[in-house]
Structure 1
Amino acid sequence: MDGGLTITLISVAMFVGCFALGFIPLLFRLSEKSLQFVSILGAGLLCGTALAITIPEGVGLLEESWRASSSSSDVPPILNASEKNRNGSATEKGPAPQFLIGLALTFGFTFMFVVDQIGNYLSTRDWTTRLPNTVGITATLGLVIHAAADGFAVGAAVATGQVTVQVIVFVAVILHKAPAAFGLVSFLMHAGLEKKYIQGHLLAFSAAAPILAVTTYFILHASGPSAQSQFSATGVGMLFSAGTFLYVATVHVLPEVSSSRTGQAEGPHQQQLGLLESLTLILGVGLPMVLALGLHAD
């Protein structure tokens, strides 16, 4: 299937699925326990997808780019030793793949950290001034930026052209966005916003990931006519999204899930997940690897 058609269909599915899932709290209330399990499964899927899919895929693409640049700049054997050394030093001026791997992962992680800190600061300031409408806008803006990072991951995944990566990243993003949509709508209802304004906030949140997914895909697709530049740009994009996945799962989702159990138990073990929660997390981490094996086997 053509990449443009694929990213269009995936973006439409993301938008419709996220909007429909976020609309559920407006119709009837879900139990906090079921929502917690969805959050844990989504966190596990994000970790598993980053560790088993996006990081290896990004590393592989950067290595392909590096090999393509090395083979395209091979020195003819008739050159003497001094010319080989000069040409060799010229072709080695670009950054090594190891540097780009660490840079992209760190930048993705740090980007989400900065977004969270800005969102927390604005939310705290707005609550002190007691402006519920402003608080709602701030909460939505923070989640829209989170969703945009998810869209970047989907666009980079489709740019790889591999069905395995596309399916697993899409499933991970959807399961991560579902509790986020639930939480946004529930928060806005608690803040006292009218239903029509809540729907507008949900619409903005649902559209953020598809818009950036389409934009990212076409930017990466047009990054250069050579396979080398496409491999490099897509690989950096995959690793950047892996850094955002790891931040959201380990710093944002899991601490919130653990802290929600504080009222259930007292003592030194109050921050530990229960057996079912732990098994759900392990299932989420392992599922991307199982899916990858099954799709590659086909």
Structure 2
Amino acid sequence: MDNFYLLLYLSVAMFIGSFVAGLVPLAFNMSEGRTRLLSTFGAGLLVGTALSVIVPEGVEALYIVHTEKYLPGAVQNKDRNQIISNSLIQPVASNLAAKINYPTYFGNSVVGKGVVEQMQQSPVMDKKETDEYRHSEASVNFNAINQSIGYSLVFGFLFMFLIDQISKYLSSKDGDRTHLKLTATVGLVVHAAADGVAFGSASATNRAGVQFIVFLAIMLHKAPAAFGLVSFLLVEGIERFRIRRHLIIFSVAAPVAAMVTYYLIVVVENDKSSTDSATGTLMLFSAGTFLYVATVHILPELLGSNVKDYQLVNSATEGSSRGYSESRASLKLIELISVIVGAISPIF
């Protein structure tokens, strides 16, 4: 329950932070150079968080499920606790039963005799059976886990790729500027919801350190995104009260998605092994989305633009079709350092 309250507080902070960042362009102009610097640090932090925090935590969650389900000495269709108890108690019980006198220790009780006799007859796996289990069941399931790790990362990456391409298609389908404005908001809202899924799944691990790192990584990405969205809508001439509506929808997307994800993982799914498995899969999925956002959205956009024409919201309205090979610009030294510092920050 404490973990839920921490998630609630951080979700409220995420909403407030995004909303306040979006209000900045409505109040005064912020230096585009500082926005670029913040974005480069956020991109590095996203990559570092995905590779050094989310991926290891997701992999660990999946392997915990495996080791709990397939402990050495476990056999199919038998209760693990019963097997462990029998394996530990049966040899001792056999020794005692050979030495003790039933009437002395249990009287003439039928129940007393039955207990010892049952303990004597309890099945115990020998070393050969245990070794056979380890080489058959365990190895097969380790291979399945390895595959699920790759699938989750790839699907997370492809999920954001499809969102990016659909947004690009809708924005270029016609020249309707109103449609373009809506596409910009929808694209960023969907992406914010994906960030919320990542945050919610990270919160389900019951590790506050992971929660704070993911929260920081998302906020460093969402704040410039909110700033860019509002700046774009202002340039398009939308009324300020409508801009605030767009901003509220964008700001609330990630917190709501985080709460729903946490609820589905922890509250609805009561089985711990299923919860750990779902948590691990979602964390790896979110790592794939983080890698896409950082390496395909933010960094190419920064490399392919200069300070004057830089707009963070371009990733939602035009897609990220420009790659590294087409980039004519390069990061400044301070921006390069910012990316590196952001990438290695989650390690410490």
Q: What TM bracket, shorter-length normalisation?
A: 0.7 to 0.9
Equivalent residue runs for 1:47-66 within 5 Å: 47-66=47-66
Q: Please give the alpha-carbon distance, in whole angstroms, between the structure 1 residues aligned to 2:72 and 2:134.
A: 12
Equivalent residue runs for 1:9-48 within 5 Å: 9-48=9-48
Q: Please give the alpha-carbon distance, in whole angstroms, between the structure 2 residues aligned to 1:148 and 1:9.
A: 18
Q: Please give the alpha-carbon distance, in whole angstroms, between the structure 2 residues aligned to 1:87 and 1:288.
A: 36
Corresponding position: 1:102 with 2:160: no
Which deviations, in whole Å up to 9, do the C-alpha atoms of 1:102-139 show, x marking residues without a partner? 0100000000000000001111124x2xx322211111
Asked if the contact 1:25–1:182 (Cα under 8 Å) also holds between the matched residues in 2, the reply is yes
Q: Which residue is 2:163 aligned to?
A: 115
Equivalent residue runs for 1:1-298 within 5 Å: 2-71=2-71, 74-75=74-75, 77-78=124-125, 96-126=144-174, 128=175, 131-222=176-267, 224-261=269-306, 270-290=328-348
Query: Given residue 11 of structure 2, which amino acid in structure 1 is its aligned partner?
Result: S
Instruction: Indicate the SS of the match to 2:237.
Output: coil
Query: Given residue 330 of structure 2, which amino acid in structure 1 is its aligned partner?
Result: Q
Instruction: Indicate the SS of the match to 1:26.
Output: helix
Which stretch of the first structure deviates more once superposed, 69-78 or 47-56?
A: 69-78
Q: Residues 72, 31 of structure 1: CA spacing in aligned structure 2 closer, same or farther, 3 A cutoff?
A: same
Q: Please give the alpha-carbon distance, in whole angstroms, between the structure 2 residues aligned to 1:169 and 1:144.
A: 18
Structure 1 spans left out of the alignment, 5+ residues = 291-298
Q: Report how far residue 191 of structure 1 moved.
A: 1.2
Q: Which residue is 1:295 aligned to?
A: none
Note the aligned Cα RMSD (angstroms): 2.5
Q: Report how far residue 192 of structure 1 moved.
A: 1.3
User: What number of residue pairs does the alignment pair up?
Assistant: 284
Q: Report how far residue 227 of structure 1 moved.
A: 2.3
Q: Residues 83, 143 of structure 1: CA spacing in aligned structure 2 closer, same or farther, 3 A cutoff?
A: same
Asked if the contact 2:73–2:125 (Cα under 8 Å) also holds between the matched residues in 1, the reply is no
Q: Residues 132, 263 of structure 1: CA spacing in aligned structure 2 closer, same or farther, 3 A cutoff?
A: closer
Q: Please give the alpha-carbon distance, in whole angstroms, between the structure 1 residues aligned to 2:144 and 2:300.
A: 35
Q: Which residue is 1:296 aligned to?
A: none
Q: Residues 108, 198 of structure 1: CA spacing in aligned structure 2 closer, same or farther, 3 A cutoff?
A: same
Which deviations, in whole Å up to 9, do the C-alpha atoms of 1:260-289 show, x marking residues without a partner? 23989xxx9833212111001001101111
Q: Residues 104, 23 of structure 1: CA spacing in aligned structure 2 closer, same or farther, 3 A cutoff?
A: same
Give the ranges of 4+ consecutive aligned residues of structure 1 lying more than 4 Å apart after TM superposition: 78-95
Q: Report how far residue 26 of structure 1 moved.
A: 0.6
Asked if the contact 1:154–1:166 (Cα under 8 Å) also holds between the matched residues in 2, the reply is yes
Structure 2 spans left out of the alignment, 5+ residues = 76-82, 84-123, 310-325
* TM-score relative to the length of structure 2: 0.76
Q: Report how far residue 13 of structure 1 moved.
A: 0.7
Q: Please give the alpha-carbon distance, in whole angstroms, between the structure 2 residues aligned to 1:138 and 1:269.
A: 25
Q: Please give the alpha-carbon distance, in whole angstroms, between the structure 2 residues aligned to 1:73 and 1:145.
A: 46
Query: Given residue 166 of structure 2, which amino acid in structure 1 is its aligned partner?
Result: I
Asked if the contact 1:262–1:270 (Cα under 8 Å) also holds between the matched residues in 2, the reply is no
Identity of aligned residues (%): 45
Instruction: Indicate the SS of the match to 2:173.
Output: helix
Which deviations, in whole Å up to 9, do the C-alpha atoms of 1:176-221 show, x marking residues without a partner? 0011011100111111111111111101100100000000001110
Instruction: Indicate the SS of the match to 2:30.
Output: coil
Q: Please give the alpha-carbon distance, in whole angstroms, between the structure 1 residues aligned to 2:130 and 2:35.
A: 65
Instruction: Indicate the SS of the match to 1:71.
Output: coil
Q: Report how far residue 87 of structure 1 moved.
A: 11
Query: Given residue 246 of structure 1, which amino acid in structure 2 is its aligned partner?
Result: L
